[in-house]
Amino acid sequence: MNKSNPNSEVSKAEPALSADEVLDSSIQFLKGVGPKRAFTLKKCGVDTVWDAINYFPYRHEDRRKIIHIRDVENGEFATVYGLVDTIASRKMRNRKTLVQVSIKDASGIIYGVWFNQRWMKDKFKKGQKVLFSGKVQTSPSTQISNPAVEILPEDFFPEDYEGTLIPIYRLTEEINALAMRKVIQAALERGLPYVEEYLPEKVLKQFSIMPLREAYKIIHSYDYPAEELTEQNIAIARRRIVIDEFFVIAMGLLMKRRRTEQLPYLIHHKKPGKLVKDFIKNLSFILTNAQKKVLKEIFDDLVNNKPMNRLLQGDVGSGKTIVALTAMLATVDGGYQAAIMAPTEVLARQHFKTISNQLRGTGVKINVLTGSTKAKEKREILESLAEGEPQIIIGTHALIQSNVQIPELGLAVIDEQHKFGVMQRNQLRGETNQIDVLVMTATPIPRSLALTVYGDLTISTIDELPKGRIPIKTYVIRPEKLSRVWEFIRKQVNQGKQAYIVYPLIDESDKMPLKPAVAMYEELKDKIFPELKVGLVHGRVKADKKETVMDLFREGKIDILVSTTVIEVGIDVPNATVMVIEEAHRFGLAQLHQLRGRIGRGGETSYCVLVNNEKEDPPVWKYKKNKEPVQQDLIETTSNSRLAIMAETNDGFRIAEEDLKIRGPGEFFGIEQTGVPALKLANLIGDEEELRLSRHIADTLYQYRDTLKPETREKIRNRLFRAFGKTIRGVDAG
Ligand code: ADP
Ligand code: MG
């Protein structure tokens, strides 16, 4: 990562390329890769040499020695070698395909068995030399289910086999294990000399941290003495990579934070006065105790002389908006401007409507600015904002465009925080002054994750729903039962209620055989509910059209709203009591919970129907409560258990926790969502110790940055650039 001095291990003959040039180069130019394979690998997120080096195995398999087929034991892990003898596939009674391939050595015969992977059959040819590895079963025949397969070259002899712990990578259909390993080994050969240790020698020693390059070698079983590739060393290497991942995030956030902290904070909010008190008094409901508690926390933050950096978390429907609005009123009352930024246009417009209603008679000026605001109106809004007129401005990303100036901004509220990146969040914060920031999320975050992703936001929690909410009833059904669901919707509509029907896609896709919203809308409207009013919204419907449809639905002039996940966040129509989610197995838990949160907002029982359109029978593996974080290789098989959790609980905190366990932290929050690099190896549930250590190291190095060697600072900075990309450039590494 060092630009100026290419590493000493790099051969002198090569033209001097910078580390960035090498690590950011496409894997396509590696030995034996080429455009086709590069294209395939892109699907695994592997595009550059750096990506390949950081494509970590999810486990290692013990292939330290090959044993004779006759010596395998039931239930034990084994690696066997033989020549392919028979290749067969057949349909079983449950219509699944079974592929059986036998291999033979001098001592016996063993079968490799695959279910529903018809393509496996075409991988083999009779007489081929093959290794099978996996857990052995000795009945009904001696076999390994889903063995790891290595097809060997003609000139392979088992006597030459140098077994080792083999890294096992996640694959796609088009690339086999051996090919994947070769790509990664080639990437290491090319790129590893440019990967530099950035932690000072002393730190490595003090905390017994393995040097970075060595860790990569061990994890990938690359260029390392086989006898030293032990489980223990792999664990030490893994620890190093975990520390690397946490350190980068900790240091990045530290630098961002310190930079804002150096800015002056000049805002003096007024103590909540008559405006706020009257507003609360005139609400059509009474605030819950939880709402009162967090409001007090927020007011305390506002009036003290430090900027507020608070995360407000509360389950869907817990009433966060009213809390934010009250805080904004206090701000405006004190002569400042307040902004609330929502992730979608639909949500921003809805906020505008409800807030306008709630503020009627208060005299507070309120405006909305989104991507589709007409030019003339936009100019007027921008002018009044730039003049510093106290008001509440509601908007989308449009609020953080460079031409928007809000000079007297005193409070920025960011709704549905998880939809924005860290960096976007920071943009509302202003470049010259610090302001108060309140971020809101309906996806509660476990503490370890909050520490990683949010640095040191203070957390307020609304842990109580408004009184009188009736728990939503959730059912998981197969598509064959849909006609009964349609009947049920009809009954609800006849009782004056409304329904949502959600689809994952807008249009037909040749990749995924899913029901598309547009086509289903036609069918629902013409064939299934010809007598009812059916509306459609999705991401490509024009903004004003979308708004019209949402208005009609809100006013009860549309009975059934067909949509994609554009309605996922924040939409509030209390009269809607049914939510049908088709292809529900395609959605993540957090998303299902958000969608379900659109109903159950009135005083009557609401019903959520999750349609499981999965073709295959659910896999045997079952999700269990309170179990260890699941193995990564089981992730694909858990879709059904997700639906089961949904049926079991309405509690967003529980759902978020389960979600984190199932998906793993890497996917739970990726860089697109948070601006923080996804964790690849680190696990927030098991690696708290490493998280603490990494934060400690980052804090210390930052604090004593003046005593560090300039090269060390340069190396740390380069490592951060690599992780955060351009978003963090311009940050001073100290
Ligand atoms: P969130 O943003 O937390 O999902 P909202 O702020 O959209 O929730 O509130 C959901 C609904 O509950 C809104 O219709 C709101 O007016 C209503 N609401 C908020 N607080 C209360 C309360 N204390 N009692 C009754 N209804 C409330
Ligand atoms: Mg909300």
Domains recognised in the chain with CATH numbers: 65-162 (2.40.50.140), 274-462 (3.40.50.300), 473-649 (3.40.50.300)
417 lines ligand 1 (CB under 6 A): no
If you average pLDDT over residues 223-246, what whole number do you get? 91
* Cα–Cα distances in angstroms (integers) from residue 177 to residues 62, 132, 161, in the given order: 15, 12, 17
Note the pLDDT of residue 671.
43
Q: Which has the higher per-residue pLDDT, 657 or 272?
A: 272
Mean pLDDT of 456-477: 86
Distance from the alpha carbon of residue 319 to the mean position of ligand 1, in angstroms: 3
- Which residue matches tokens 């509440």? 392
Residue 270 CA, ligand 2 centroid: distance in Å:
26
In this prediction, residues 156-170 reach a mean pLDDT of 78
* pLDDT for residue 625 is more than 60: no
Secondary structure (DSSP) of 585-620: GGS-HHHHHHHHTTSS-SSS--EEEEE---SSPPPS
Selection from 481, 501, 474, 512 nearest residue 643 by Cα: 474
Residue-wise pLDDT tens digits, 300-333: 999 998 889 898 988 888 899 999 999 999 999 9
Which pLDDT tens digit goes with each residue over 574-603?
999 999 999 898 888 888 988 998 998 888
pLDDT higher than threshold 50 for residue 620: no
Asked whether the predicted pLDDT for residue 665 surpasses 70, the reply is: no
pLDDT for 663 equals: 60
Most confident range, picked from 111-115, 214-218, 637-641: 214-218
* Closest Cα to atom 14 of ligand 1: 572
Per-range mean pLDDT, top range of 161-175, 241-255, 508-522: 241-255
657 lines ligand 1 (CB under 6 A): no
Question: How much is the average pLDDT of 414-441?
Answer: 70
More confident residue, 93 or 1: 93
321 C-alpha to ligand 2 centroid (Å): 5
Dist. CA 327 → ligand 2 center (Å):
15
Q: Is 319 in the pocket of ligand 1 (CB under 6 A)?
A: yes
Please indicate whether residue 221, judged by its CB atom, sits closer than 6 Å to ligand 1: no
User: How confident is the model over 36-51, as a mean pLDDT?
Assistant: 89
Q: What is the pLDDT of residue 254?
A: 83
167-192: string of b/e by CB count within 10 Å (b at 16+)?
bbbeeeeebbbebbbbbbbbbbebbb
Q: Would you state the pLDDT for residue 350?
A: 85
Across the chain, how many H-helices and E-strands are there? 23, 21
By most ligand atoms within 8 Å of CB, the mutation choice from 312, 341, 464, 572 for ligand 1 is 572
pLDDT at 255 over 50: yes
Distance (Å, rounded) from C-alpha 112 to C-alpha 375? 66
pLDDT at 734 over 50: no
pLDDT of residue 60: 84
Within 10 angstroms of residue 502's Cβ, the number of other Cβ atoms is 26
Mean pLDDT of the 271-296 span? 94
The answer, yes or no, to whether any atom of ligand 1 lies below 6 A from the CB of 57, is no
> Residue 458 belongs to what H/E stretch?
strand 458-462
User: Which position has the higher pLDDT, 148 or 303?
Assistant: 303
Q: Is 317 in the pocket of ligand 1 (CB under 6 A)?
A: yes
Q: How far apart are CA 580 and CA 599, in angstroms?
A: 11
pLDDT at 731 over 80: no
**How far is it, in rounded angstroms, from Cα 543 to Cα 445?**
32
383, 365 in Cβ contact below 8 A? Answer: no
* Averaged confidence pLDDT in the chain: 84
Tell the residue nearest (CA) to atom 13 of ligand 1: 319
**Average pLDDT over every residue of 652-666:** 70
Rounded to a whole number of angstroms, the distance between the first and last alpha carbons of the chain is 18
> What is the secondary structure of 292-340 as a DSSP string?
HHHHHHHHHHHHSSS--EEEEEE-TTS-HHHHHHHHHHHHHHTT-EEEE
Predicted model pTM: 0.66
Sheet holding 576-581, edge to edge: 473-477, 607-611, 576-581, 498-502, 560-563, 534-537
Question: What angle separates helix 447-454 from helix 688-703, to the nearest 10 degrees?
Answer: 30
Q: 41: CA distance to ligand 1 center in Å?
A: 46
